[in-house]
Amino acid sequence: MKKIVTILLALVMVLTLAACADNSEPADNSKNIDALQNAEDQPSVPSEAKNESRQPGETPSEAADGTSSEPDQEPAGKKILVAYFSATNNTEGVAQKLADGLGADLYEITPEQPYTDEDLDYGDSDSRSSVEMDDPDARPAISGSVENMEQYDVVFIGYPIWWGEAPRIMSTFIESYDFSGKTLVAFCTSASSGFGNSDSALRSAAGGAAWLDGHRFSAGANSDEVMEWANGLGIN
């Protein structure tokens, strides 16, 4: 009797397992296939359309973090000339320091007839320098000239103080060029005289130029002193 019951239970289990196998269905992958097809059918978004989503004021070349992929454009600097006359080399030293500090071109105003020690004898009313300074219309000749003066935006003009004024050769220089639209700055050297109105005749001769306040230096002025003044002009 026990054997018969065991056999019957075994048959029931076999039939139950067979029925479960018949009711199972294969997985339906059609939805996954449709999803892939729909994705492939979507048109790609052109790069121009993507850029339309940028914030107002943001250029197409700007990255999402606000930085630009293009290099910064530095404004071009002003072209500067330092022109000077130096009979005893005192003004020359200041002019060289100024040109070095500003990265400027340097030009020496050289008289066609060089000045001798006798010419510079201020105590002699008949010396060359005394006669020239007594004549407002005197215009000592200059040897050479500045090439392409038109390229310069700013011109520094240096000279020694003679009888409280710029030497007459400086008027020769100013009257030789068109300074319209340029910025001019005078500087001078002297043992004791101040800058005063030493550039007044030069200002009158250089019509159309913008003038900045000039400065007087001692012969031994160092680079720091020279550049402190130059940098304070705001020309760069």
- For 148-203, the DSSP string reads TGGG-SEEEEEEE-BTTB--HHHHHHHTTS--TT-EEEEEEE-SS---TTTTHHHH
Q: Is the pLDDT of residue 57 over 50?
A: no
Range list of H helices, the chain: 2-23, 30-41, 47-51, 90-102, 128-134, 168-174, 200-205, 223-231
| Domain ranges within the chain, ordered by starting residue | 80-231
So what's the pLDDT on residue 191?
85
Could you tell me the fold of the domain covering 80-231?
Rossmann fold (3.40.50)
So what's the pLDDT on residue 100?
97
- pLDDT > 90 in the chain, percent: 61
So what's the pLDDT on residue 11?
55
Note whether 201 and 171 are within 8 A (CB). yes
Token pair recorded at residue 90:
């005192």
- Predicted TM-score (pTM) above 0.85: no
Q: Is 208 left (phi over 0), alpha (psi -120 to 50) or beta?
A: left
Residue 86: how many CA atoms within 13 Å on its side-chain side? 21
Q: Is the pLDDT of residue 33 over 80?
A: no
Q: Is the pLDDT of residue 75 over 80?
A: no
